[in-house]
Amino acid sequence: SNTKHKAFPEHFLWGGSTSAYQVEGAWNEGGKGPSVQDVKQLPEGTSDFKVAADHYHHYQEDVALMAEMGFKSYRFSIAWTRIVPDGDGAINEEGIQFYQNLIDELLKHQIEPVVTVYHFDLPAALEEKGGWDNRETIDAFVRYCDILFDRFGDKVKYWQTINEQNMMILSGAAIGTGSDSMQKTYQQNHHMLVAQAKAMKHCHDKLAEAKIGPAPNISITYPKTNKPEDIQAAQCFNALRNWLYLDMAVYGRYNHQAWAILEANDALPTFEPGDEEVLKAGKADFIAFNYYTSGTVEAYPVGEATTDEKTADQQKGQGIPGFFRQVPHGDLEKTEFGWEIDPIGLRITANEIYSRYALPLMITENGLGGRDTFTEDGKVHDDYRIHYLREHIEQMQLAISDGVELFGYHPWSAIDLISTHEGFRKRYGFIYVNRSDFDLKDLSRIRKDSFYWYKDVIASNGENL
């Protein structure tokens, strides 16, 4: 690149990220109700979420380690089922207290709390009543958000609504929602969008100083070749997967191209009176996004697939005949879990988002899942993670040099936790947690090599990579 490097801004939020059900454990303690994650069918050979990293009991030690790394901010999620165990009933004061304690602990160390309201863990009791199919879930969500704004609004300035709504919709059932038709899926999506818009409006009405935004996974999708057909396919996939969510959070309307794809597939959501105004009234102050890798698609001519294949592709978000089909990139290296690695894609993605919306950006997830080993010297040599993060931070700096207003970086994950589908063996943290999928060992915390490296990155404000 021939762009001149600019320095990271002075108050850049260097931090790390987790989510409640993946890190906390104590799944049935402190008055917590079950979430969809606690009751779901687990993939074979994979731990449940009952103990996780046991952060619920270790939060002071964990925050101290984050402070030692020099974290300026910590992005975590609040478990809806700790605050309102059945989703829409009584408030659980013990749950409120846990997060008060966590937030106070962070502030004691000058770490800015960055809170996600909902990260894949819908209360199981709401799922039983139809989950996001049911419009009453919108009211339950908004009420839950109001409780958070009322109770934590004096201490929390940065809020995110729904983590990776776009991934929930594209890959459905695995993370707690899911349905058997595309229309139903996008109806659920519509309900979540309405819920998010209301929550953003309430946040602004209640808290003058607070900033709130969505937290989708935004990754640029490339065309497989430079054939216009493939380029058009990529445009469609970007519209459905990325811009639908950001156009809504920023402009309060459906992206036209995404809408056309839904229409062509008989998947248009039904609006209730008032929805249009609600969507217009919810405005994001910033855009948080998760980035792990880019995507690649090619044209998917109608008539190429059998009906069964079409349905399967559609259900998995793999492809929609007449629009696009996801394919491997071909030239990118992969992690040991098969995820393509594309640091330049982060620069492209950040520029693309900023050109469209001109709002400040914050990265809420980015990282490498690997099978770390706790070696005989009492260490974890995770040079592959350092390499991945370094390359992404370099591209982040180039995006800033391009003129993108980027104000925070929260690698996934601050500390080891359970992956969404691949158990405890797939680790992301700077801090190793001594347990395996089925042996809880002593849950002790060990600083990985990446811990010391990141500490230096933060201390030098991104200069020493």
User: Which positions from 321 to 360 touch ligand BG6 by CB under 6 A, shown as an x/- string?
Assistant: ----------------------------------------
C-beta of 217 vs 255, nearer to ligand BG6: 217
Q: Do the Cβ atoms of 353 and 365 come closer than 8 Å?
A: no
User: Which positions from 115 to 154 touch ligand BG6 by CB under 6 A, shown as an x/- string?
Assistant: ----------------------------------------
C-beta of 92 vs 326, nearer to ligand BG6: 326
- In whole angstroms, the minimum distance from the beta carbon of 413 to ligand BG6 comes to 7
C-beta of 224 vs 427, nearer to ligand BG6: 427
Q: Which of 62, 164, 247, 382 binds ligand BG6 (CB under 6 A)?
A: 164
Q: Is 163 in the site for ligand BG6 (CB under 6 A)?
A: yes
- Whether 336 sits among the annotated catalytic residues: the reply is no
- Whether 340 sits among the annotated catalytic residues: the reply is no
C-beta of 300 vs 430, nearer to ligand BG6: 430
Site size with ligand BG6, rule: CB under 6 A: 15
Q: Which of 223, 369, 411, 462 binds ligand BG6 (CB under 6 A)?
A: 369
C-beta of 164 vs 247, nearer to ligand BG6: 164
C-beta of 269 vs 367, nearer to ligand BG6: 367
Q: Which of 196, 219, 238, 290 binds ligand BG6 (CB under 6 A)?
A: 290
- In whole angstroms, the minimum distance from the beta carbon of 276 to ligand BG6 comes to 29
Q: Which of 20, 103, 111, 167 binds ligand BG6 (CB under 6 A)?
A: 167
Within 391-450, the residues that bind ligand BG6 by CB under 6 A are 412, 419-422, 426
**Of 105, 112, 127, 164, which is the active-site residue?**
164
Q: Is 166 in the site for ligand BG6 (CB under 6 A)?
A: no
Nearest Cα to Cα of residue 40 among 19, 20, 21, 54 = 21
- In whole angstroms, the minimum distance from the beta carbon of 46 to ligand BG6 comes to 11
Per-residue H/E/C for the chain: CCCCCCCCCCCCEEEEECCHHHHCCCCCCCCCCCEHHHHCCCCCCCCCCCCCCCHHHHHHHHHHHHHHHCCCEEEEECCHHHHCCCCCCCCCHHHHHHHHHHHHHHHHCCCEEEEEEECCCCEHHHHHCCHHHCCHHHHHHHHHHHHHHHHHCCCCCEEEEEECHHHHHHHHHHHCCCCCCHHHHHHHHHHHHHHHHHHHHHHHHHCCCCEEEEECECCCEEECCCCHHHHHHHHHHHHHHHHHHHHHHHHCCCCHHHHHHHHHCCCCCCCCCCHHHHHHHCCCCCEEEECCCCEEEECCCCCCCCHHHHHHHHHCCCEECCCEEECCCCCCCECCCCCECCHHHHHHHHHHHHHHHCCCEEEEECCCCECCCECCCCCECCHHHHHHHHHHHHHHHHHHHHCCCEEEECCECCECCCECCCECCCECCCEEECCCCCCCCCCCEEECHHHHHHHHHHHCCCCCC
* Contact window for ligand BG6 (CB under 6 A) among 160-168, 178-186, 201-209, 301-309: 160-168
User: Which positions from 20 to 39 touch ligand BG6 by CB under 6 A, shown as an x/- string?
Assistant: --x-----------------
Residue nearest to ligand BG6 (CB): 419
Distance (Å, whole) CA 418 – CA 30: 21
C-beta of 398 vs 415, nearer to ligand BG6: 415
Q: Which of 54, 127, 247, 365 binds ligand BG6 (CB under 6 A)?
A: 365
Interface residues toward ligand BG6, by CB under 6 A:
19, 22, 163-164, 167, 217, 290, 365, 369, 412, 419-422, 426
Active site residues: 164, 365
